């Protein structure tokens, strides 16, 4: 419900002056689709809170947007006259960020509408809290791996290849790629010792993996993307090596502020936000993108695990 103490009649001249700024136009177009709070606008626009709040304040002063309270957040909605919005839409044709904004908005609204997600997060949190003989996350994960049937799998940034070794028994071929020669040699020895003839280790960079285009059914980045110097290039390469209809799975860290991770774990990036990862996957060409937070560590620095899946 909107809470307005008085009605502001927009000034045409002042409104047109506000429309000279591309960011304000982007905000108006987003709010014309759906009321949003500042945090959601931050995710979509990729800008700081203070900058967005300043723009919203100016728009609100001229009566082009209104605000209401929802819990702890101020929610902003469009109130600009149709004539002003028509000018904004015409000007938007000159702003390249507008189309990506719409895609990101759709992703955020999809996540917002997922009312069952909170329930399943709570349900998952109960798994393993009370002892039940034979029931564990390990046993559940092993069971899920058994029903995955992909002919060719690429484990990108595989390290010693623990995940690749788990996938190998149910795949025609698994290609494990890592840039560290010692990891590749160690993985090769493990594969040989365990008779995994369909598991092949290759030395290479995840930004340009030594795998033919259109040759893989499933590509996986498991806690590898935040080590890439250019994550977008890694995702672009993953798109190329996947066959049409192929799947991408990413497990990585949710964006955090534990800067010591750069030194302790050789991390290049301090994780990714859901929207940031969505945008990169979309730019690479992926479709049917879904993201969700699947785990939160119980000890500081409380790393959270972000899962993303998509289709070529």
Helix (H, G, I), strand (E, B) or coil at 303: coil
pLDDT of residue 6: 43
Q: Locate tokens 């955090």: which residue?
A: 256
In this structure, what token pair is assigned to residue 107?
């992703």
In this structure, what token pair is assigned to residue 249?
């799975």
For the domain bounded by 12-96, which CATH number is listed?
1.10.10.10
Answer yes or no: are the C-beta atoms of 114 and 44 closer than 8 Å: no
**Cα–Cα dist 208/156, whole Å:** 10
- Give the chain's end-to-end CA distance (angstroms, integer): 41
DSSP string, 270-281: --B-HHHHHHHH
Residue-range domain boundaries for the chain: 12-96, 116-311
pLDDT tens-digit series, residues 142-163:
677 766 778 999 999 998 888 9
Q: Which of 16-20, 141-145, 249-253 is most confident? A: 249-253
13 has a pLDDT exceeding 90: no
Q: What is the mean pLDDT of the chain?
A: 88
**Cα–Cα dist 42/227, whole Å:** 25
**Cα–Cα dist 249/290, whole Å:** 10
* Three-state secondary structure of 82-95: HHHHHHHHHHHCCC
**Cα–Cα dist 150/174, whole Å:** 9
Give the residue-averaged pLDDT of 252-273: 93
Give the residue-averaged pLDDT of 113-130: 64
Q: Which CATH superfamily is domain 116-311 in?
A: Vaccinia Virus protein VP39 (3.40.50.150)
Which residues are bridge partners to 218 per DSSP? 153, 247
130 has a pLDDT exceeding 80: no
Answer yes or no: are the C-beta atoms of 58 and 29 closer than 8 Å: no
pLDDT tens-digit series, residues 55-65:
999 999 999 99
CB count within 10 Å of CB 182 equals 9
């Amino acid at each position: 419900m909107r809470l307005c103490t008085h009605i502001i009649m927009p000034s045409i001249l002042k409104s047109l002056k506000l429309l000279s700024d591309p960011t304000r136009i982007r905000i108006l177009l987003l709010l014309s689709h759906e009321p949003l709070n500042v945090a959601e606008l931050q995710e979509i626009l990729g800008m700081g809170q203070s900058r967005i709040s300043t723009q919203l304040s100016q728009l609100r002063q001229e009566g082009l947007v209104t605000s209401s309270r929802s819990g702890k957040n101020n929610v902003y909605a469009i109130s600009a006259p149709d004539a002003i919005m028509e000018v904004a839409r015409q000007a938007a044709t000159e702003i390249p960020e507008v189309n990506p904004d719409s895609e990101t908005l759709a992703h955020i609204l999809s996540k917002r509408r997922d009312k069952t997600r909170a329930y399943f997060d709570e349900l998952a949190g109960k798994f393993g809290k009370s002892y039940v003989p034979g029931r564990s996350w390990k046993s559940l994960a092993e069971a899920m791996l058994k029903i995955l049937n992909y002919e060719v799998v690429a484990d990108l940034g595989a390290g010693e290849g623990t995940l690749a070794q788990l996938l190998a028994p149910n795949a025609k071929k698994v290609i494990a790629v890592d840039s560290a020669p010692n990891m590749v040699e160690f993985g090769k020895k493990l594969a040989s010792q365990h008779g995994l003839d369909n598991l092949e280790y290759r030395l290479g960079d995840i930004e340009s993996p030594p795998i033919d285009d259109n040759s893989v059914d499933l590509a996986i980045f498991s806690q590898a993307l935040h080590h890439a110097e250019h994550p977008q290039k890694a995702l672009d390469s993953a798109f190329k090596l996947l066959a049409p209809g192929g799947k991408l799975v990413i497990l990585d860290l949710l964006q955090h502020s534990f800067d010591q991770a750069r030194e302790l774990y050789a991390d290049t990036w301090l994780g990714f936000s859901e929207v940031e990862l969505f945008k990169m996957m979309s730019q690479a060409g992926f479709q049917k993108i879904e993201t969700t937070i699947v785990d939160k560590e119980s000890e500081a620095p409380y790393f959270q695990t972000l899962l993303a899946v998509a289709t070529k």
